[in-house]
Amino acid sequence: MVEPKPIDNLQLDAAGRLRHFLSIEGLDRDLLLRIMDTAESFAAVSEQKVKKVPLLRGKTIVNLFFENSTRTRTTFELAAKRLSADVLNINIAVSATAKGESLLDTVRNLEAMHADMFVVRHEQSGAAHFIARHVAPHVSVINAGDGRHAHPTQAMLDMFTIRRLKGQFDALRVAVVGDILHSRVARSEIRALNALGAAEVRVVAPKTLLPAQVETLGVKVFRNLEEGLRDVDVIIMLRLQKERMSGALLPSEHEYFTCFGLTEQRLALAKADVIVMHPGPVNRNIEIESRVADGPHSVILQQVSHGIAVRMAILSMAMQVGDGRPGRRVNA
Phi, psi for residue 237 in degrees, rounded to 5? -85, 140
Can you give the pLDDT at residue 249? Answer: 61
Q: Helix (H, G, I), strand (E, B), or coil: what is residue 317?
A: helix
Task: Give residue 291's pLDDT band: very low, low, confident or very high (50, 70, 90).
Answer: very high
Whether the per-residue pLDDT at 54 is higher than 80: the answer is yes
Q: Both 94 and 159 in a single domain?
A: no
Residues 249-258: tens digit of each pLDDT: 666 788 899 9
The residues assigned a catalytic role are 71-72, 99, 121, 151
Q: Helix (H, G, I), strand (E, B), or coil: what is residue 306?
A: helix
Domain count, the chain: 2
Task: Give residue 63's pLDDT band: very low, low, confident or very high (50, 70, 90).
Answer: very high
Q: Both 141 and 276 in a single domain?
A: no
Nearest CA-CA partner of 11 in 31, 38, 29, 39: 31
Domain that holds residue 94: 9-151+307-318
Give a yes or no: residue 80 inside a domain.
yes
Q: Both 106 and 158 in a single domain?
A: no
Task: Give residue 329's pLDDT band: very low, low, confident or very high (50, 70, 90).
Answer: very low
- The residues, ordered by sequence, that sit 6+ positions from 272 with a Cβ below 8 Å of its Cβ are none
Q: Both 80 and 131 in a single domain?
A: yes
Longest dimension (CA), the chain: 57
Q: How far is CA 136 from the centre of its chain?
A: 25
For the segment 198-222, the average pLDDT, to the nearest whole number, is: 95
Q: Both 128 and 161 in a single domain?
A: no
Which pTM value belongs to this model?
Answer: 0.90
